[in-house]
């Protein structure tokens, strides 16, 4: 939902502008505001200066530099141009032309409302799709672990180590033994335990589980419900590859 362009036309049809729609707001340059409110760029600049000096708005919170391609002579040049969000546009508008500002505010409010509704709907659909995929992955992993044939003493020992890894990460995060930093501490101990038992692993620890995967697992465990404990532990176990073979089948 980024880099959207919206077209605004005044009620009299005399002005038509292209506005950026990003970060849940509408954005205009000083030149565009001058065109919208039928005044000079110098006048817009003066009003903005007063708005920020009077602390009606905060400049850092209402401005953003966006890349714009402009025609300069015979060349097209890409430059960073300062844009102002809807709060700044409306504030300037009321100081210059209350009628134009009111018309623009009504249009902008309706446009943003539709934008946010569409964005919310799209995100909900994506979350539902990802939720189904996650449930399917968990179900497949659970069935795989449940049907493994663990027939040898070595196999039982290897699975015991795998299970220890998973429980260590889970309980440090979920039981909150520390006042702060439980996810960080649990992840550190998890990696330390992996390295201590490096000889059982099919790959070096750094190849087995990267930083992004570990962060994702830690957050997933932290946000999980209590009745999802076994699923979380199975998920952690899934990322641990052993080089020992159990009854002719690789451990995980």
Identify the CA nearest to 245 among candidates 141, 150, 143.
150
- The most confident of 6-20, 29-43, 64-78, 206-220, by mean pLDDT: 29-43
- Rounded CA-CA distance 100/90 in Å is 10
Do the Cβ atoms of 19 and 83 come closer than 8 Å?
Answer: no
Tens digits of per-residue pLDDT, 195-226? 777 766 666 766 667 666 677 777 778 877 88
3-state secondary structure of 82: strand
Instruction: For 48, list phi and psi in degrees, rounded to 5.
Output: -65, -40
- Mean pLDDT on 37-59: 92
Q: For residues 225 and 136, is the Cβ–Cβ distance under 8 A?
A: no
Distance CA 87, CA 112 (A): 13
- Flag whether the pTM goes above 0.75: no
Share of the chain above pLDDT 90, in %: 13
Q: Give the residue-averaged pLDDT of 37-65.
A: 92
Q: What is the C-alpha to C-alpha distance for residues 245 and 152, in angstroms, rounded to an integer?
A: 10
Element spanning 131, H or E? helix 98-146
**Tokens 């401005």 map to which residue?**
63
pLDDT of residue 41 exceeding 80: yes
**pLDDT in the model for residue 137:** 47
pLDDT of res. 100: 79
CA distance readout (Å), 34 to 17, 26, 27, 39, 45: 11, 16, 13, 5, 9
């Amino acid at each position: 939902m980024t880099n959207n362009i919206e077209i605004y036309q005044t009620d009299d049809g005399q002005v038509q502008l292209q506005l950026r729609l990003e970060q849940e707001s509408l954005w205009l340059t000083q030149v565009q505001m001058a065109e919208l409110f039928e005044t000079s760029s110098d006048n817009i600049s003066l009003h903005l200066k007063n708005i920020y000096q009077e602390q009606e708005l905060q400049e850092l919170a209402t401005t953003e530099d966006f890349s714009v391609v402009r025609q300069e002579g015979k060349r097209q040049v890409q430059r960073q141009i300062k844009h102002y969000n809807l709060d700044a546009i409306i504030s300037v508008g009321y100081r210059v032309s209350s009628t134009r500002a009111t018309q623009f505010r009504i249009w902008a409010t309706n446009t943003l409302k539709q934008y946010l509704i569409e964005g919310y709907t799209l995100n909900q659909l994506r979350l539902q799709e990802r939720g189904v995929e996650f449930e399917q992955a968990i179900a497949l992993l659970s069935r795989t672990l449940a049907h493994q044939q663990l027939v040898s003493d070595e196999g039982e020992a290897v699975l015991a180590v795998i299970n220890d890894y998973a429980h260590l990460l889970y309980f440090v995060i979920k039981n909150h033994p520390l006042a702060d930093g439980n996810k960080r501490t649990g992840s550190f101990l998890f990696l330390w335990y992996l390295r201590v038992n490096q000889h059982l692993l099919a790959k070096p620890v750094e190849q087995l589980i990267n930083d992004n995967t570990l962060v994702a697992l830690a957050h997933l465990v932290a946000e999980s419900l209590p009745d999802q404990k076994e699923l979380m532990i199975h998920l952690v176990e899934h990322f641990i590859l052993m080089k020992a073979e159990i009854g002719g089948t690789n451990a995980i």
